[in-house]
Chain A
Amino acid sequence: DIQMTQSPSSLSASVGDRVTITCRASQSVTTYLNWYQHKVGKAPKLLIYAASSLQSGVPSRFSGSGSGTDFTLTISSLQLEDFATYYCQQIYSTPYTFGQGTKLEIK
């Protein structure tokens, strides 16, 4: 199985901050990498697919980059509604695997 490792595991930030979350795969997944946002009690939400493509309806302050084994999710200017947990997921090979999550908290 491909292991996905996110860093940091948790992050405190303020509204307006620029935030970057990283995700590393244990082997190359080319650009077969998705990012999701998850709030407690709600359905997870797709943000980015294929490493850098913004899902329809997702604000442009979210962006993704990377290929191979190293990926980043960037939020250019944090808004109150962005405080949540973020997961990366590889869909290069089954079993599709997720990172352990990055919890973004208000400073």
Chain B
Amino acid sequence: QVQLQESGPGLVKPSETLSLTCTVSGGSINPYYWTWIRQPPGKALEWVGYIYYGGGTSYNPSLKSRVTMSLDTSKNQFSLNLNSVTAADTAVYYCARGKEMSRIIYFDYWGHGTLVTVSS
């Protein structure tokens, strides 16, 4: 059974960098789209972006200038860095596996999510 687990600091100061890691167990890194999705308190889910197993990336344009994703296939992990954070980046961050079938991508496995609060 595939499992995803987010890890990282739960509190980040304004203007600093939010760094999260997702560890994948029970399955291979390829050929999937490794994705971050977040949910600010009381708001809808927001797609942050993905990194493909081959290394290509796609980011939400609203965050693109501040986001970097990376993949460590040797550890079955992928990571999110979001710099220059503000209170608006406070959210539950989920990692998820994107699977493609006939050009349809769907997110079939998710982590339980980790709350990251931006506050001084």
Contact = CB atoms under 8 A, between A and B. Distances in A.
A46 B107 contact: yes
Contacts of B65: none
Interface residues of B, number: 24
A contact patch SS = loop
Contact of A99 (B44, B61, B103): B44
A55 B60 CA distance: 26
Interface in A4-35: 31-32, 34
Nearest to B35: A96
A41 interface: yes
Interface of B: 4, 44-47, 58, 60-62, 94, 96, 101-113
Given A44-B96, A49-B101, A98-B46, 7 more contacts: A43-B109, A46-B106, A49-B104, A50-B104, A89-B47, A94-B58, A98-B47
Interface of A: 31-32, 34, 36, 41-46, 49-50, 55, 87, 89, 91, 94-101
